[in-house]
Amino acid sequence: MRTIESWALALLLAGAVQATAAEDPCAAFKWDLHRERALFATAGATLPAGKDAGTAPAVVPGHLYRAMLLPSSQVDFPVTPGRIAAGEGTHAGIFALTVPEAGTYRIAIDSAFWIDIAGHGKLVPASDYEGQHDCAAPRKVVEFALDSRGPWMLQLSGASQAAVRVTITPAK
């Protein structure tokens, strides 16, 4: 009898998890994103994007930024982005990223566009990523393993809108 009760409880819990994911599409991420979701619940600081490495404003982990991007044609990336968005009307920008220590960091964004981190003349490969199309808080999260050698350039490109929200958080 205990086995039947255990199976019934397991089925009931599985249904509850599916219902929660259906009610809150942001709950379906494989990672625990409580820090990122808490940041996305704040107003954040408005920050104009840089058009090149010399004009890139500083960003640090633990904050939500409302990044004001530029028309892509006005941005001179330090390193060519991993994906070039075709078509007019896309937006981009560059930010100088400082991390307090070596580790894996998550860049979380609220809509569909491309995220790169550049340093030492090349792109840093993403170590993992995930997205939820029906969620905007966040929609996409990309992880990068960074050492403390910096400087790092956070390059955003291919955004359909000029104002986007972005956070940087340690993955641990």
23: Cβ contacts below 8 Å, ≥ 6 apart? none
pLDDT tens-digit map of 121-167: 999 999 988 888 787 788 898 999 998 778 899 999 999 999 999 99
Question: Are β-strands 70-71 and 91-97 bridged in parallel, bridged antiparallel, or unpaired?
Answer: antiparallel
Domain 31-170 is found in CATH 2.60.120.380: yes
Task: Report d(CA 156, CA 67) in Å as an integer.
Answer: 10
Q: 9 pLDDT band (50/70/90 cuts)?
A: very low
pLDDT tens-digit map of 21-70: 457 777 878 888 889 989 999 999 999 999 999 999 999 999 999 999 99
In angstroms, the Cα distances linking 45 to 63, 118, 137, 166, 167 are 8, 23, 16, 10, 11
Rounded to 5 degrees, φ, ψ at 18 are: -65, -40
> Of 10-24, 87-101, 130-144, which has the strongest mean pLDDT?
87-101
Domain ranges of the chain: 1-28, 31-170
pLDDT at 18 exceeding the cut of 50: no
Q: Are 39 and 169 in contact (CB under 8 A)?
A: yes
- Of 93-97, 102-106, 133-137, 143-147, which gets the smallest average pLDDT? 133-137
Whose CA is closest to 123, among 141, 92, 146, 101? Answer: 146
Task: Report d(CA 70, CA 162) in Å as an integer.
Answer: 6
